Structure 1
Amino acid sequence: MNKLLLALAGLILSTQCMAQVVTAKGVGTAPYGWSLSAGDKDKAYKAAQVSAVERYFAEAGEAESENFEAIQPKIEANLEKFILSTTIINEQNQESAKKYSVSVRVEINVAKLRSTIRGSSATAKTAQGERSQLVYVFVGREVSSVRSFDDRVVKRAEVEREASVDRSRSSKGAEGEVVRGNAVATAAKRDSSESVTAKASIKVETGGSTTRKADDTSYRLLAMNNTKTSITSVFSQGGFQVAEPEFVLEDKDIKAVNQDFSTGNDLAPATLRGVVAALRNSQVPYLVLATLDVGAPMQDDATGMQRVAVTVTGRVLDVSAKLPREVASVPAVQYFGVGPDNASASGKALKDASMAAAREVVSRLNAAGIR
C-alpha cells in the first residue's frame, strides 16, 4: 500500500511539472483623485497581474527577464491569454496618500508565454532554411571516487651560536741558595694565578610551510539517451536547427570529451580545438556544452520518497569566426527530482535539469539576438 501511495505521489508531481502552469504573486498600486473608483481598482488589479508575471520571469533568471521586457506590451494587452486564474489576497486603501494597493495570486500559462517569446525572437523572424545550426554536448555524471591528500608539512630551523672567552694568566717566583759547609742548598718558590671568563649566546629561527592539495575527483558518466529527444525538442522549438553530435564530431573527439569530463570540469585545449575543427568542417556555427552533476540521493521530507539534486553548468561558443568566442553561459543552477527509488529520482532529476538547461540556453541566445 505504501509503495502504491509513493508511486501515485510521484505521478502527481510529474503531472504538475508537465502542466506548464505555475503560481506567482504580484502587487499592484494605483493613485486616485477625490475618491476611489472601480476604474482605479481595476488599474491596480491589472498592475498586480503584470507584476506576478514579471516576478515569475525574474525568478527564472536574467535572460528570461530580458525576454519579458520584449513581450511585456503583448502581455499587458492580452492578460486573459496568459493568466488562467487570479485570487485576491489582500487590499489596502491608503486614503491619506490617495493610493489603492492589491496583492494577488495568479496561475500563469507558461506554455503560452514561451510560445509568445519564441514568436518574438530573432530566430522566429528568420526563414527556416537560414536559421543557425548548433551541436549540443550534454554530459551527465556522478562522482565515482574522491581521493583526499594529507597536508605536507615542512619544518625548518636555523641556529646561530656565538661564544667569546677572555683568559688571563700571571705567575711570579723566587729562588735562593744556602751554602753550609761543603753543601749547597737551593730553594724555589712560585706563585701563579689564572682567571677565565666565557660568554655564549644562541639564536634560533624556526619556520616552515604547509602544502595542501585539492581532492582528486573522478566521475562516472551517465547515459543521456532518454533525455536527447527532449533536449532536441527544446532547441528546435527555440528556432534552431539541431545537429546530433554523433554526426558531426569524430569518434576520437567524443572519446576525448568524455575522458576530460570524467576527470574535471573543463575540456583540454587539444580536445576543444578538435571539436571546433569538426564543427567548422560541417559548417555548424554554435556549440553548446553542459555538464549535469548528479548528487547523492536523500529522503524528501515532504513525500518520504527519494530526492536527488542535479547541478547544471553550461556555455555556448560561436565558432564561425576565426577565433571562437563565448556568446552565452549558464551559471551553476540546481534542480531536483523526486521518485519512489534512487534510479527513478536520478532519472527524473537528470531529465528535468537537462531540459531546463536547454531552455536557459535558448533564452540567453534569444536575449542576445542570435538567430
Structure 2
Amino acid sequence: MKKILLLLVTALLSVTALPSLAQVVNAKGVGTVSYATIVSQADKDRAYRAAQVASIERYFAEAGEAEAENFDAIQPKIEENLDKFIMSTTVLNEQDQPGMRKYSVAVRTELNVTKLRIALRGASKAGQAGPAGNSPMVYVFLGREVAAVKSFDDRVVKRAEMKLDSDVKASGTTRGSEGENIQGNNIATTASKQKTSKVSVNQSINVETGGSTNRKSDETSYRMLSMASHKTAVTSVFSQSGFQVADPDFVLADGDMKSVNADFSKGSDLTPSTMRALVLSLRKAGVPLFVVATFDVGVATQDPASGLQRVAVTVTGRVLDVSGALPREVASVPPVQYFAVAPDNAIATTKALKDASLLAAKEIVSRLNASGIH
C-alpha cells in the first residue's frame, strides 16, 4: 500500500513540475480597452478577446525566448481563429474604471498546444527558410554522470634570503723603556714593554622571505549513460515538427561515435579532430543539420516536499549547419536544469533523463523555428 501511495505522489509531482509536456495547458491573461463614455458590450467583447490573446502570449513567454519569437510569427493567425486554439475560457475578474474610461477583464484559458505547434510549423514553412530548411538532421543525445574527480594539492614553494654585514675595528698601543746601570766592571741593562689592543665587531643580519603557490584545477571523468530508451520519443518530437530525422548509425562512420563518447567522457566539448570527422560523414551522407546535446545527471538528494529521491539533469545543446563551405552554429541551448522525483535513485534518474530529453528536443525545435529553419 505504501509503495502504491509513493507511485501516486510521484505521478502527481511529475504532472505538476512538467506542465510543458502536456498537450492542454492552462494560462492566464488580462485584456484592457478604452471606451468613449459608457462601457458597451462591444467594448467588453474586445477586452475579452484581448485577454484570450494575452493568455496565449503569456504561455509562449514563459516557455522561453525562442518561443516568444515564434508567437510573433503566428499572432495574426491566432487572433483570427481564437476558438481553434482555446478550448475553454473562464472569467476571473472584471473591473470598470469610469474615471479613466477603461475596462479590464482577467481570464483563465485552456490552450490546445497541439494545434499551436501545428500553426508554428505552418508559419515556419511559409516564412523565409534558412540554408538548411526542410532538410534531414542527425541528433546525438549523450547522458553522463560524474565517475571520478581528481583533486590536486597546492604546490607551495618557499624562499628565504639572508644577508650578513660585519664591521671589525682594531686598535693597539705599545710602550717600552730601557735603562743601564754601570757598577764596577759590570754593566746591567733593564727593559720593560707594555702592549694593549682593542677589537670591536658589529654584525647585522637581514632576512627576506617569499614564495609562490600553484593551484591546479580538478580533473573530472564521466561515466556515459545509455539514452536508447528515450530515442523513439525524441525522434517523434523532431519528426512531428517537420524534420527528417536520420539515424546516426547509418550516417556517422564507425569511429565517429567512439570519438564523441571519448571526448565527452573527459570534457564538455568535442575536439577539433572529432568535429572534422563528423562534418565529413554528414556531408558525405547529405545531412545538413547536426544536433548534439549532453545531459549531466547530478547526485540524488531527498526532495523536501515529498521525501522522495530528487535528481537534477543539466542540459546543454547546440545545432550545427554543415551545408555551407564552413560549418556554423544556427541554434544553441544554454545550460538548463530539469528535475524529477521518484521512490529511488534509479527510477528518478531514468525519469529525469526522459523528461529532460523531450523538453530539450522541444526547445531545440523552438529555437530552430525562431531562426527560420524547419
TM-score by length of 2: 0.89
Contact 1:123-1:238 within 8 A present in 2 as well: no
The within-5 A match list for 1:1-371 is 1-12=1-12, 19-122=22-125, 131-159=134-162, 161-181=163-183, 182-196=186-200, 198-204=202-208, 206-371=209-374
Q: Partners in 2 of 1:264 and 1:92 — Cα distance?
A: 57
* 1:179-210 deviations in Å (ceiling 9; x for gaps): 13113131224353425252525141x33222
Gap regions ≥5 residues in structure 2: none
Amino acid at match of 2:202: A
**SS of residue matched to 1:122:** helix
How far is the alpha carbon of 1:251 from its aligned partner? 1.8
Contact 1:123-1:240 within 8 A present in 2 as well: no
How far is the alpha carbon of 1:282 from its aligned partner? 0.8
* 1:295-351 deviations in Å (ceiling 9; x for gaps): 222333444433322111100111122221111101111112233333222222211
Gap regions ≥5 residues in structure 1: none
Misfit runs of 4+, over 4 Å: 11-18, 123-126
Q: Report the CA distance shift for 1:359/1:123 in structure 2 as closer, same or farther (over 3 A).
A: farther
Q: Partners in 1 of 2:126 and 2:285 — Cα distance?
A: 21
Contact 1:83-1:107 within 8 A present in 2 as well: yes
Q: Partners in 1 of 2:48 and 2:62 — Cα distance?
A: 21
Amino acid at match of 1:210: T
Contact 1:176-1:187 within 8 A present in 2 as well: yes
Amino acid at match of 1:185: T
Contact 2:160-2:207 within 8 A present in 1 as well: no
Q: Partners in 2 of 1:173 and 1:295 — Cα distance?
A: 96
Q: Partners in 1 of 2:191 and 2:33 — Cα distance?
A: 133
Deviates more, 1:215-224 or 1:91-100: 91-100
Q: Report the CA distance shift for 1:145/1:172 in structure 2 as closer, same or farther (over 3 A).
A: closer
Q: Report the CA distance shift for 1:256/1:13 in structure 2 as closer, same or farther (over 3 A).
A: same
Q: Report the CA distance shift for 1:71/1:11 in structure 2 as closer, same or farther (over 3 A).
A: same
Aligned-CA RMSD value: 2.4
Amino acid at match of 1:3: K
Deviates more, 1:137-146 or 1:11-20: 11-20
* 1:216-271 deviations in Å (ceiling 9; x for gaps): 22222111111111111111112111110000112211111111111211112111
Contact 1:285-1:318 within 8 A present in 2 as well: yes
Q: Report the CA distance shift for 1:209/1:189 in structure 2 as closer, same or farther (over 3 A).
A: closer
How far is the alpha carbon of 1:114 from its aligned partner? 0.9
Deviates more, 1:48-57 or 1:229-238: 48-57
Q: Report the CA distance shift for 1:359/1:19 in structure 2 as closer, same or farther (over 3 A).
A: closer
User: How many residue pairs are counted as aligned between the two chains?
Assistant: 366
Contact 1:297-1:342 within 8 A present in 2 as well: yes
Q: Partners in 1 of 2:161 and 2:243 — Cα distance?
A: 68
